[in-house]
Amino acid sequence: MSSASETYDETVDGSTGGGAGGSRHDGAGAPDHDGTDETARLIPRGFRVGRWEVTEPIADGGWGRVYEGRDTQMDAAEGTEGAEASAGAECRVALKFLPTSGLAPRQAERLAETVRREIEFGSRARHPRLMRLLDSVVLGDTGVPGLDGAVVLVMERAESSLQDLLDAADGSPLPEAERLVTEVCEGLAHLHRLGWVHGDLKPDNVLIMADGSVRLSDFGLTVELDGTRGTHGYIPPLGSPDYMPPERWRAPLDERGVQVRPSADVWALGVMIHQVFTGGASPFPGATFASRVSAVQEYAEGRAPLRLHVVVPEFWRTLAADCLLPAHTERAAHTGESLLARVRTAADGDGLPAARQRTGRRTVALAAGAALTLLGTGGAAWWQWGGSGGDPRTAPEVRLSVYNADAKCRARTDRHPMCSLGLAIDPATPYVLDNVVETRVWHGDVLAVECGLERGVPVTDETGVRSSRWFRVRLAAADEGAEKDTETVRATAWLPDVRTRSRPVVPACATG
């Protein structure tokens, strides 16, 4: 048995071709089979695939190419002059050509498996947010070299993809970000309700129709849950690294493939939520996919906190943070249906819950202590767990967001030391350098909160706002058993109330 991570450097894109819209694929993982892909690009206008006729190319994919096609039978049924114009988009389809000739045995096996999955899912799943599979055709003697035996999937025709919108956003939030994410949630909730995992959820596989609505697409890695409890399925060791959860890189690989759960789709959704509100920025920055994967692992291992950009609205930051919980067991509590329910509840309330909770509250700004370079203060309000009192060790995990009132620090995407914030060792003694742990935090970091202390040493920020409240937060590295070196390993530290605008509902910390 080997690790799944050993194979991802060979095949990192499990798509069976460019989406049914205009999405781009960079061909990562595309097979090298003596020019078959090049031959497939030469499919002429008017080439017939059953009742469908090729009109123009749309996009390249890892395994083939996608063309626009039209339904010749629908054209014939119209039977009048100008029928094609009157039929319009109803005649248009996407033809996904998947050549099989020239493939190595391993590649042919994987292609056959992904095609089988896509056809099986397409024949069983129907929903307004899922791309429809209209037909599948196996080509015979075509007269076009390289196309004999090719599989053609006939699908709805989309206009573009979410990735296209992000590429055009130039770093700005998408204008209809909330609607787009909501519709993705609708499709994902239905898919999970049926007992399936998408397996390769990403912006390239979220297609935009002519009316602007969303369709989830590319079901080549989609799998039905099995096992005695229906908790997981198995897929080939393929996928898109930027959207894989931490556990996929450590998953064992056997003859069935790698294990996948609905929580993997939830992780990918969390990444996309961050992207649509930031114009494409990953919550795990890096110049290459390898560096971004490394950032994911650092976060999952507790060596770095989750940092979500402050431009993401508070409600959606909370939702994304829940989707990006490091362990799949934690993410499992946030199902597609529960996430959709939260989104709909927020929409039905004519506003976001976090925004309403913040109304009327005083603005908390930068904390005092400039000489200590401990600049920090409030932050975005976060989804609150109900209840108070009880044992903080058994309470549901509550999180808050660190906020830095220094605009220059908020604008930075790196972790510059001058923009770091300090956590206290003891909230009952003065908040000075000798009372600060070595671990630093930055604006946007998400910290787990255990409990709150109402009567600690008061801290006054630079605007004169004063508070004696503190939060005991967990140091992620301690959960992973960090080695004891220059400092005694601490499981927790203390964050002053004036360093966050979050208002988590947490039990009172034990005193005495």
Q: Are residues 473 and 397 in the same domain?
A: yes
Q: Are residues 149 and 243 in the same domain?
A: no
* pLDDT average, residue stretch 408-437: 82
Q: Are residues 207 and 284 in the same domain?
A: yes
* pLDDT, tens digit (0-9, with 9 covering 90-100), for 281-297: 999 988 777 888 889 99
| Pick from 112-116, 312-316, 367-371: least confident | 367-371
Q: Which residue has the tokens 């801290």?
A: 459
* pLDDT, tens digit (0-9, with 9 covering 90-100), for 56-75: 998 776 567 889 999 988 75
* pLDDT average, residue stretch 330-351: 87
Q: Are residues 157 and 245 in the same domain?
A: no
Contacts with 375 (C-beta within 8 Å, 6 or more apart), sequence order: 366, 367, 369, 404, 405, 406, 409, 419, 421
| Pick from 102-106, 144-148, 278-282, 471-475: least confident | 102-106
Q: Are residues 109 and 171 in the same domain?
A: no
Q: Are residues 141 and 191 in the same domain?
A: no
The chain-wide mean pLDDT, for the chain, equals: 75
Contacts with 76 (C-beta within 8 Å, 6 or more apart), sequence order: none
Q: Where are the alpha helices (DSSP H) in 371-431?
A: 407-411
* pLDDT, tens digit (0-9, with 9 covering 90-100), for 92-124: 899 988 877 766 666 667 777 777 777 777 777
CATH number at residue 194: 1.10.510.10
Largest CA distance in the chain: 89
Give the pLDDT confidence score for residue 337 in this predicted structure: 94
Residue 508 falls inside a structural domain: no
Give the pLDDT confidence score for residue 128 in this predicted structure: 92
| Pick from 10-24, 134-148, 339-353, 417-431: least confident | 10-24
Give the pLDDT confidence score for residue 323 in this predicted structure: 97
Query: Residue 136: pLDDT band by 50, 70, 90 thresholds?
Result: confident
Residue 347 reports pLDDT greater than 90:
no
Q: Are residues 394 and 463 in the same domain?
A: yes
Q: Select from 161, 176, 208 the last residue of a domain.
A: 161
Q: Are residues 94 and 219 in the same domain?
A: no
- The residue length of the chain stands at 512
Range(s) of the domain holding residue 482: 360-499
Give the pLDDT confidence score for residue 406 in this predicted structure: 72
Tell which wins on pLDDT, 93 or 84: 93
Residue 355 falls inside a structural domain: no
| Pick from 76-80, 355-359, 420-424, 501-505: least confident | 355-359
Counting residues of the chain whose pLDDT is more than 90, the rounded percentage is 31
Residue 487 falls inside a structural domain: yes
Q: Is 227 exposed, middle or buried (0-12, 13-18, 19+ CB in 10 A)?
A: exposed
Q: Are residues 205 and 288 in the same domain?
A: yes
Counting the structural domains of the chain, the total is 3
Complete DSSP assignment for 427-463: TTS--SGGGEEEEEE-TTEEEEEEEEESSS--EEBTT
Residue 351 falls inside a structural domain: no
* pLDDT average, residue stretch 253-277: 88
Residue 74 falls inside a structural domain: yes
Tell which wins on pLDDT, 84 or 436: 436
Q: Are residues 67 and 111 in the same domain?
A: yes
* pLDDT average, residue stretch 293-309: 90
Counting residues of the chain whose pLDDT is more than 70, the rounded percentage is 71
The Cα–Cα gap between 371 and 351 comes to: 40
Helix (H) or strand (E) holding 104: none
Q: Are residues 13 and 140 in the same domain?
A: yes
Residue 235 reports pLDDT greater than 80:
no
Residue 414 falls inside a structural domain: yes
Q: Select from 161, 181, 216 the last residue of a domain.
A: 161
| Both tokens assigned to 103 | 């493939």
* DSSP label at residue 417: G
Residue 512 falls inside a structural domain: no
Residue 506 falls inside a structural domain: no
CATH number at residue 62: 3.30.200.20
Whole-prediction pTM value?
Answer: 0.61
Q: Select from 129, 161, 193 the last residue of a domain.
A: 161
The Cα–Cα gap between 305 and 323 comes to: 15
Q: Nearest-CA neighbor of 200 among 177, 220, 215, 182?
A: 220
Q: Is 379 exposed, middle or buried (0-12, 13-18, 19+ CB in 10 A)?
A: buried
Q: Are residues 278 and 399 in the same domain?
A: no
CB atoms within 10 A of CB 420: 19
For the chain, the 3-state helix, strand and coil shares in percent, each to the nearest 5, are: 30, 20, 45
- Name the amino acid, one letter, at 510: A
